[in-house]
Structure 1
Amino acid sequence: MIWQTAPVWTTAWTLLLCIQGLLPGANVYLSKLLVDNLVVAMKAGINSESWKLVIFPAALMATVLLLTQLTSAALGIVRTIQSELIQDRITALVQEKSIAADLFFYELPEYHDRLHQARSNASGRSLSLLENIGSLLQNSITLLTMATILLPYGAWLPLVLVVSSLPALYVVVRFNRYYYQWWEQTTPQRRRAEYYDFLMTQIYSAGELRLFDLGDHFQGAYTKIRDRLRQETIQLATQQSLTQLAGSISALLIAGSTMAWMLWRLLQGFLTLGDLALFYQAFNSGQSLMRSALSNAGQIYSNSLFLGSLFEFLKLQPEIQDPPYPQPLSLPIQQGINLRNITFRYPGSQRAILQNFNLTIPAGKIVAIVGENGAGKSTLIKLLCRFYDPEKGSIEIDGIDIRQFAVKELRRLLTVMFQLPVTYQNTVAENVAISDIYSQPSCDAIQQAIRDAGAEEIIAKLPQGYDTQLGKLFASGTDLSGGEWQRIALARAFLRQAPILILDEPTSFMDSWAEHDWLDRFRSMAKNRSAVVITHRFTLAMRADIIHVMQAGQIVESGTHDQLIALGGLYAQSWQAQTETNSQLTLSSIN
């Protein structure tokens, strides 16, 4: 992924690391040369030859130090570029997978756990992994140069370096694996803590939070979770520190013993002061580098565990996919939509929302679906949009199962206003245009959609008209009431000139005056479209060509408004009850 994202910068990064890995060995060797030349110069006294002996290795050391600084600065720039590119790439991958995921994924806690794990660690861990790989490469190169320098003093010395660093590797691997297991197990608790924080800091719940005095309640719940997580984190860190301390003491004892052996060799006359300086720097650096290299290896292992969550998330495959050979769409729709013997239950649920369900939506007609809450009305929308596939049965457009169409092509046939429309924090024009954004709708088309939705008065009151920023998340934003947001969403649905129009409770937030005005124009707006309207309002349902009454996942009555009233069934009883309620309210207002 790193190579695919930034091949040029990764090549530059690798070369700079190799150079930086060789420079410390060169510096150590030059320090030996400088010390030995200083000893010779001190014996010879101050003269031009003595100065030459000292200046040459000193100049080379200065050059090496300068190169070290230059490569370090260059590496900093390259790492920043790499990290930004990789972070954006991983974020894009997570976003693409989230967009492609089936709607039912969002109803599974396991999916949210995986998404949380992928998002919370993906960028940071990937960058940390990149740093670990770079450090391991650089340290390994430097370590090899140090080992080469130490070999003349004893072939066993590089082995001592390895042995003295093994405790550090044990600590890193053991702790990181244990920490990863703890982190994975506590994901639900950390998500819940973030949820409580969201409730306390966002406008979504600000009203009820204050009205019901819920601040202390949610803060207490948040604190309880954080107290537990903090205590467990401190306990893990304490165990790691104590184990690291034991490993460091053992490494120090080994280093001290080796240094004592070198001093004994110096006193015996087998070594020079330059040899001792060289050995001290090489062995001390080698021991430090060995610990760092093994620590980097352990961190790579740890980060690979965490990044496993990212790649597990990226492996998720949606079940709603295009067929191998999609059928072409034929427009206009001639016959209509047929739902045949549909049985459907939501993933993880044993209750069938629809069972052997049948429904016909004739082409070019307005079909209203009414019924009690939970009857399965909104589920029909999800099936028609192919957010889900039925367990049994088929949904057909002009006799062709919608599973035979490409998913995007199918969804271009529909325009939908959902029961809880999204309140996009953009301008009015962008809010409306977003339903057909790739077609770049004209200002005239946007204005016509606003008129169709009966939202002209709303726009007239806004400070910048169609350019007004809606919502309060960004500067200079203007918020709308629920009914006003609904009419903006209604305009969004009308703008998209799709042959199938689906409206879920389009007037639920409208006052009676706005609803009456809109209903007078509804049939002309739905002209030449196959329209499905889900509603509890009989004033809207009576304008449909056919009304279907749903109860417990079945169509129990069908007909026009007059036919259903004459039938005297469930629809007629509900109509009578609503009429009596309205009459009583009218009399009360008069009195």
Structure 2
Amino acid sequence: MKSLRHLKIKLKGGLSQLPYLLRSLMLVWAAAKKWTIVWAILLVVQGLLPVVTVYLTQQLIDNLVPALGAGANWEKVRSSLMLVALIGSIILLSQILGSLLNWVRTVQSELVRDYISNLIHEKSIAIDYAFYEIPEYYDRLHRARQDAYFRPVTLLENGGNLLQNSITLMAMAVVLTRFGIWLPLALLISTLPAFYVVVRYSNENYQWWLRTTADERRSWYYYWLLTEMQYAAELRLFGLGEHFKSAYRILRRKLRSERVQLARNESLANLGASAIALVLTAVALAWMVWQAILGRVTLGDLALFYQAFDRGQNVMRSLLGNLGQIYSNMLFLGNLFEFLELPPQTIDSPSARMTPTSLKRGICFDRVTFRYPGSQKAALQNFNLAIPAGKIVAIVGANGAGKSTLLKLLCRLYDPQEGNIKWDDVDLREFPIQHLRRLITVLFQQPVGYNASVAENIGFGDVTASASLSEIIDAARGAGAEEVIDRLPKGYHTLLGKLFESGTELSGGEWQRIALARAFLRQAPLIILDEPTSAMDSWAEADWMERFRQLALFRTAIIITHRFTIARRADIIHVMADGQIVESGSHDELLVLGKLYAQSWQAQINVNS
């Protein structure tokens, strides 16, 4: 009774997953319509062929018995040979259709994989930036990404096998009914234990998989640390290789032990289910042999029964196994659809207005309060700041003062919880997000180095404009990257990075100049640079600042920096501390005030001297 209640609970849980089955089939249909139709036709034919073979085998045996008693009778032999030829043709046709079906499944698999990859990529691009700072998001992404590529195809294959086996089973049941109405029922009962095992352990495996997602991700993290170039030097210098290798091994041992225990329990349960099925098969076969001894059935009937019952039992076990696998795949696919349904919070306003092409008056932070997701502390509290158009504005302050938060809010990677940010007196949320971002060019504190050519790395700054080589060269010259590029083996056509063959690695400062050129390529009215010279020496820094002033002419620029040698060349300097502007003015004005800026300036001068 306990087992039956357990099965009932599992089946009830499975019904809640049915919407995922329909969505999965719709997903496969959207990815490969024509191939799915061909696949369905082949399955129906494949489902009927075993029944035809069983029927022809019975006819052959019943033809052979009198032929053996009558000697070499050509008429009897010819009839038997024709049946043999038909059976051979059916078997050959089944092999041909099987090969064709495998090819069709491969095509479907590739089409579905690419289709799902596209869905995941679209969601990853559209999802809020905030999700990337939440561990739960990475758990969801890991679960969706890990199984998304093969689960829908596996579900389709299971569904196809279910259809094929159902057709075969119904035909076999019709064959068995002529020998006794109870035989199809015995066939069903003999396979129920196997079905119970599949459903129970599908659910247990899924629950284990959910429970260990974080551990699985951590094991991948250790694997990544041990195999990626960016960590190789530090692992060797500090002798961390053995530490992370041991951590990986311990975690994998734990996961492996739990997985092996689950597999052991499932194997024992399958063994018990097979024993029950064998006993019922023996009873049914013994009854049929007794009927043959009594002369109630022929030898052909006995052969027909054995093949029908044996195949029917195998088909029934496969069919129930298909149901269990479908249930399991629906559980896993729930993670994919949950990921695809993650709702973005930073979205376009329903009444979005036309985006301007320039910045005429300036940008204003008006009583802005912002907290990062999951944090109780406000990064900005009732924050106010005015950035006049056409000026170079430096924002300085200690780490954690809130400088980079301004960048993220201006780019609408986040929206503030209170207050607003205005572009020429219009709230940023009134503009379509993508149009707003076209008005801004940014160099982030950790610039990205793409494993692509120099020209492509710079051209990524404005992919919609398809910049010419001369425009790319101008951007590189403005960023002070020209000398770096001239030293490369193929100039602007040099492949950067070491991920692919013949790639050339750059230093941190060189990568930063390439990223600066990428930022400069976009002719946006607002330039935001986050620590733009952090990897440059003082001589290169002074040269770059002079270039930048010319480049930023007639545009608005915000430089976020902790280097006062850069800040001093700005038109206006704002000093941040604890999420607030505490001082504002030119370099000379702030020195006269003698407060935080002046103290920090003197400290930097003393260190540099």
Bin for the TM-score computed over the shorter chain: over 0.9
Residue 373 of structure 1, CA deviation: 0.9
In structure 1, give the amino acid aligned to 2:588: D
Task: Give the whole-Å Cα distance in 2 for the aligned partners of 1:568 and 1:259.
Answer: 102
Q: Name the counterpart of 1:533.
A: 559
Cα pair 1:41 1:53 within 8 Å, conserved: no
1:456-475 matches, within 5 Å, as 456-475=482-501
Q: Does 1:219 align with 2:245?
A: yes
Task: Give the whole-Å Cα distance in 2 for the aligned partners of 1:575 and 1:11.
Answer: 74
In structure 1, give the amino acid aligned to 2:578: A
Q: Does 1:560 align with 2:586?
A: yes
Identity %: 58
Task: Give the whole-Å Cα distance in 1 for the aligned partners of 2:447 and 2:331.
Answer: 39
In structure 2, give the amino acid aligned to 1:167: P
Q: Name the counterpart of 1:520.
A: 546
Residue 43 of structure 1, CA deviation: 2.2
Q: Could you say what the CA RMSD is over the residues aligned between the two structures, in angstroms?
A: 0.9
Task: Give the whole-Å Cα distance in 2 for the aligned partners of 1:178 and 1:534.
Answer: 52
Task: Give the whole-Å Cα distance in 2 for the aligned partners of 1:525 and 1:505.
Answer: 17
Task: Give the whole-Å Cα distance in 1 for the aligned partners of 2:118 and 2:429.
Answer: 28
Q: Does 1:107 align with 2:133?
A: yes
Map Cα deviations across residues 306-347 of structure 1 (whole Å, 9 max, x no partner).
111111111101101011121101232211111100111101
Q: Name the counterpart of 2:288.
A: 262
Q: 1:569 aligns with which of 575, 595, 598?
A: 595
Cα pair 2:109 2:150 within 8 Å, conserved: no
Q: Name the counterpart of 1:504.
A: 530
Task: Give the whole-Å Cα distance in 1 for the aligned partners of 2:357 and 2:586.
Answer: 28
Q: Does 1:449 align with 2:475?
A: yes
In structure 1, give the amino acid aligned to 2:68: M
In structure 1, give the amino acid aligned to 2:569: R
Q: Name the counterpart of 1:6.
A: 32
Q: Name the counterpart of 2:433.
A: 407
Q: 2:402 aligns with which of 367, 372, 376?
A: 376
Residue 354 of structure 1, CA deviation: 0.5
Q: Name the counterpart of 1:154.
A: 180
Residue 173 of structure 1, CA deviation: 0.3
Task: Give the whole-Å Cα distance in 2 for the aligned partners of 1:503 and 1:322.
Answer: 25
Residue 31 of structure 1, CA deviation: 0.3
Q: Does 1:54 align with 2:80?
A: yes
Residue 580 of structure 1, CA deviation: 2.4
Q: Name the counterpart of 1:117.
A: 143
Q: 1:127 aligns with which of 147, 153, 178?
A: 153
Residue 172 of structure 1, CA deviation: 0.3
Q: Name the counterpart of 1:282.
A: 308
Residue 388 of structure 1, CA deviation: 0.4
Task: Give the whole-Å Cα distance in 1 for the aligned partners of 2:281 and 2:608.
Answer: 93
Residue 19 of structure 1, CA deviation: 0.2
Tell me the secondary structure at the aligned position of residue 432 of structure 1. helix
Task: Give the whole-Å Cα distance in 2 for the aligned partners of 1:283 and 1:581.
Answer: 90
Residue 127 of structure 1, CA deviation: 1.9
Map Cα deviations across residues 214-258 of structure 1 (whole Å, 9 max, x no partner).
111001110111101111111001100101101100100000010
1:184-203 matches, within 5 Å, as 184-203=210-229
Task: Give the whole-Å Cα distance in 1 for the aligned partners of 2:89 and 2:608.
Answer: 93
Q: 1:78 aligns with which of 88, 104, 107?
A: 104
Tell me the secondary structure at the aligned position of residue 153 of structure 1. coil
Residue 202 of structure 1, CA deviation: 0.2
Task: Give the whole-Å Cα distance in 2 for the aligned partners of 1:517 and 1:99.
Answer: 37
Q: 1:41 aligns with which of 64, 67, 71?
A: 67
Runs of 4+ in 1 over 6 A off after TM superposition: none
Tell me the secondary structure at the aligned position of residue 439 of structure 1. coil
Cα pair 1:503 1:534 within 8 Å, conserved: yes
Q: Name the counterpart of 2:326.
A: 300
Map Cα deviations across residues 385-440 of structure 1 (whole Å, 9 max, x no partner).
00000010000001110001101001001000000001111111111001111211
Task: Give the whole-Å Cα distance in 2 for the aligned partners of 1:423 and 1:111.
Answer: 25
Q: Name the counterpart of 2:10.
A: none
Tell me the secondary structure at the aligned position of residue 43 of structure 1. helix
Map Cα deviations across residues 544-572 of structure 1 (whole Å, 9 max, x no partner).
11110111111011111111111111111
Cα pair 2:355 2:432 within 8 Å, conserved: no
Task: Give the whole-Å Cα distance in 2 for the aligned partners of 1:520 and 1:336.
Answer: 23
Larger displacement relative to structure 2 (254-263 or 42-51): 42-51
Task: Give the whole-Å Cα distance in 2 for the aligned partners of 1:485 and 1:124.
Answer: 38
Cα pair 2:361 2:424 within 8 Å, conserved: yes
Cα pair 2:358 2:439 within 8 Å, conserved: no
Cα pair 1:199 1:205 within 8 Å, conserved: yes
In structure 2, give the amino acid aligned to 1:164: S
Q: 2:49 aligns with which of 23, 26, 30?
A: 23
Residue 114 of structure 1, CA deviation: 0.4
Task: Give the whole-Å Cα distance in 2 for the aligned partners of 1:209 and 1:538.
Answer: 34
TM-score w.r.t. length of structure 1 = 0.98
Task: Give the whole-Å Cα distance in 1 for the aligned partners of 2:109 and 2:547.
Answer: 55
Q: Name the counterpart of 1:206.
A: 232
Task: Give the whole-Å Cα distance in 1 for the aligned partners of 2:115 and 2:302.
Answer: 50
In structure 2, give the amino acid aligned to 1:441: A
Q: Name the counterpart of 1:495.
A: 521
Structure 2 gap ranges (5+)? 1-26
Tell me the secondary structure at the aligned position of residue 150 of structure 2. helix
Residue 52 of structure 1, CA deviation: 2.0
In structure 1, give the amino acid aligned to 2:559: V
Q: Does 1:244 align with 2:270?
A: yes
Q: Name the counterpart of 1:366.
A: 392
Q: Does 1:392 align with 2:410?
A: no
Q: Does 1:347 align with 2:373?
A: yes
Task: Give the whole-Å Cα distance in 1 for the aligned partners of 2:555 and 2:459.
Answer: 20
Map Cα deviations across residues 331-385 of structure 1 (whole Å, 9 max, x no partner).
3221111110011110100111110111111111111101111100000000000
Q: Name the counterpart of 1:328.
A: 354
Q: Name the counterpart of 2:11.
A: none
Provide the aligned length of Structure 1 versus Structure 2. 583
Q: Does 1:32 align with 2:58?
A: yes
Cα pair 1:38 1:53 within 8 Å, conserved: no
Q: Does 1:545 align with 2:545?
A: no
Task: Give the whole-Å Cα distance in 1 for the aligned partners of 2:146 and 2:383.
Answer: 43
Cα pair 2:383 2:579 within 8 Å, conserved: yes
Q: Does 1:291 align with 2:317?
A: yes
Q: Name the counterpart of 2:15.
A: none
Residue 69 of structure 1, CA deviation: 1.2
Structure 1 gap ranges (5+)? 584-591
TM-score w.r.t. length of structure 2 = 0.95
Task: Give the whole-Å Cα distance in 1 for the aligned partners of 2:306 and 2:441.
Answer: 76
Cα pair 2:371 2:380 within 8 Å, conserved: yes
Residue 582 of structure 1, CA deviation: 2.5
Map Cα deviations across residues 192-226 of structure 1 (whole Å, 9 max, x no partner).
00000000000121111000001110011101111
Cα pair 2:479 2:547 within 8 Å, conserved: no
In structure 1, give the amino acid aligned to 2:478: D
Tell me the secondary structure at the aligned position of residue 373 of structure 1. coil
